[in-house]
Amino acid sequence: GQNIDQPTEMTATEGAIVQINCTYQTSGFNGLFWYQQHAGEAPTFLSYNVLDGLEEKGRFSSFLSRSKGYSYLLLKELQMKDSASYLCAVRDLTGNYKLSFGAGTTVTVRA
Amino acid sequence: DGGITQSPKYLFRKEGQNVTLSCEQNLNHDAMYWYRQDPGQGLRLIYYSQIVNDFQKGDIAEGYSVSREKKESFPLTVTSAQKNPTAFYLCASSPRDGTDTQYFGPGTRLTVL
């Protein structure tokens, strides 16, 4: 199985930068996903990394290091609407490509 | 508009009753999934289906059942055998199989009284 760890909560100020770390252990890594989930709503897809390095998408970037079992999601120029839970999910090819999710990091953006 | 719909948004049932949660998608996706979300825990996979008339158990299938008679529909039945059914249930789909990105429906919050 997979052990996926991410911090429970983070708080930051509007306009600032926040980095959400995710560490994982898996026997057949086949990709890492980040989702954003507002309270009571569906998770929405943010990013996907399968090779080492940084993927940038506007204000959001995601980084992966497969050798370290480590990823982070970087949120820049924080806005109030970025207050949400951010879910890290790992795909494992030995588990028929199933996704395993971390518990999520709740980010609170303050004015 | 293409998307995944789940109904109802909120559902209340008495203990001991079976209940069926609806999930429909018009994205022409082959694969569909059911997850359960509890506070402080990651999403956990209940069942998934990669093709019509076929489905596999996920990590926490006990007390649940599914069917996949049509490509667009993947209903989940929460039976009375499920010990702790109160949770937020999320349906997802992906274009082909587990190698594709999964997209989620709006969820159904089930409360068993």
**Cβ(B81)–Cβ(B29) below 8 Å:** no
- Put simply, whether A69 touches B (Cβ < 8 Å) is no
Residue A1 has pLDDT above 70, yes or no: no
- pLDDT score, position A87: 97
Least Cα distance to A71 among A45, A53, A86, A98 occurs for A53
CA distances from A108 to A111, B41, B68 (A): 10, 19, 39
CA distances from A110 to A79, A84, B58 (A): 9, 12, 38
Kindly report, residue by residue over B48-81, the tens digit of the pLDDT: 999 999 999 999 999 999 999 999 999 999 999 8
pLDDT band for B1, please (50, 70, 90 cuts).
low
Residue B20 has pLDDT above 90, yes or no: yes
Mean pLDDT, chain A, whole residue set: 94
Kindly report, residue by residue over A72-94, the tens digit of the pLDDT: 999 999 999 999 999 999 998 87
Distance separating alpha carbons of residues A59 and A106, to the nearest angstrom: 18
Residue A22 has pLDDT above 60, yes or no: yes
**Cβ(A6)–Cβ(A73) below 8 Å:** no
pLDDT band for A2, please (50, 70, 90 cuts).
low
Q: Which of A8, A42, A45 sits opposite B105 (nearest CB)?
A: A42
- Put simply, whether A40 touches B (Cβ < 8 Å) is yes
Q: Do A41 and B107 touch (CB under 8 A)?
A: yes
Q: Do strands A29-37 and A9-13 pair parallel, antiparallel, or not at all (unpaired)?
A: unpaired
| Best residue of B30, B37, B44, B89 to probe chain A, by most A CBs closer than 10 Å | B37
Residue B88 has pLDDT above 90, yes or no: yes
**Cβ(A42)–Cβ(A93) below 8 Å:** no
